[in-house]
Amino acid sequence: MNKFLAILSARNKEFFRDRAALSWNFAFPILLLFGFAFLFSDEGNKLYKVGILSDVQQSEVEQSSGFQSLKHIAFVHYENLDRAVLKIDQHKIDLLVDFGSSRYWVNQTSSKGYIVEQLLLGAHPNMQRSETTGKAIRYVDWVMPGILGMNMMFSCLFGVGYVIVRYRKNGVLKRFQATPLTAFEFLSAQVISRLLIVLVVTTMLYVGCNLMLDFYVLGSVFDLFIVATLGATSMIAMSLLIASKSSSEEFTGGMLNFASWPMMFLSGVWFSLEGTHPIVQKFAQIFPLTHILDAARAIMTDGATLADVKINLLVLGGMTFVFLLLGSWLFNWGGERT
């Protein structure tokens, strides 16, 4: 019992003396609670979503419409007719209205579309009706990129960061330092190694699940592979940056959690950020996972090409370069010397 109590006391003291781990255990739940409280604080959630074809000439007509004064309906403005009709086909919006030409579009298979149509005709009985038919995007089709992206995120961050810290703590990096190997070469090798593993696993998961679930994909699967490659590279580089100096597994674990959990909840893994506060939407743009999911879903559900998502790809490429450059510059071979 004395031996047990001695080990118990020593481990407790080790934990409480590690200020990084101790502060993270208190700070993380508080940050999570306040984040969710802010994210879901909007009590006026809309029941229906209506698309409005708009331009400068139509703005006065739209503002004078009694239909837009109805409560519990979210109005989204579109300038491109084909893109807006695609949203109707996929059940992403319940109704599409063009007040300038007194015309509206509704998906005849949408139950919500029928309700909103009756509300519109009550305010504007002379509107011309156009029907569309299209396959609704299932939740599994929408959430699939999020789940695979989240799996990539955890594999990239924790599969690399802990390894580097363990190498440093066990003195392996000190041995590498005695060789002609540079920090950039070492980190680049870590990136390629983890990238190959992540891409093989992700590809196998996608192919296997697609055979059973038949995902809704309008764009190119090759384009999805390019997005996954660039996205995984950026998150691996982020992990290397986080683990570039630390030799504490507890501290590194806290920092990796600090990076991964906000990404999991604010990058649109489980739900769309379209109806959230604008500040949240702007803040989410700092995460690589946000750009990965935005690009992947645009390719899958909208049929976008790499040129259409070039902004997301450029951001991911820029993040990869910056993370890898800073990681190489800050990299510490020896860690804490004893």
Q: What is the pLDDT of residues 291-338, one digit of tens each?
A: 999 999 888 887 888 888 999 999 999 998 998 888 778 777 764 443
pLDDT at residue 311, rounded to an integer: 93
What are the b/e assignments for 64-90, b being 16+ CB within 10 Å? ebebeebeebbbbebeeeeebbbbbbb
pLDDT at residue 336, rounded to an integer: 46
List phi, psi (to 5°) of 275.
-100, 5
What is the side-by-side strand order in the sheet with 103-107?
73-78, 48-53, 95-98, 103-107, 128-132
Task: Decide the pairing of beta strands 95-98 and 103-107.
Answer: antiparallel
**Could you tell me which residues come within 8 angstroms of residue 185 by beta carbon, excluding any fewer than 6 positions away?**
none
pLDDT at residue 109, rounded to an integer: 75
**DSSP-assigned states of every residue in 200-224:** HHHHHHHHHHHHHH-----S-HHHH
Low-confidence ranges of the chain (pLDDT < 50): 43, 56-61, 63-64, 335-338
What are the b/e assignments for 159-198, b being 16+ CB within 10 Å? bbbbbbbebbbeeebeebeeeeeebeebbeebbeebbeeb
Nearest to 328 by CA among 210, 138, 188: 188
Report the first-to-last Cα separation within the chain, whole angstroms: 32
Report residue 240 CA to chain centroid gap: 20
pLDDT at residue 64, rounded to an integer: 46
pTM reported for the whole predicted model: 0.66
Residues in the chain: 338
List phi, psi (to 5°) of 286.
-80, -10
Average pLDDT, rounded, for the chain = 77
pLDDT at residue 244, rounded to an integer: 76
The domains found in the chain, sorted by start residue, are: 2-39 (no CATH), 48-132 (3.40.190), 139-330 (no CATH)
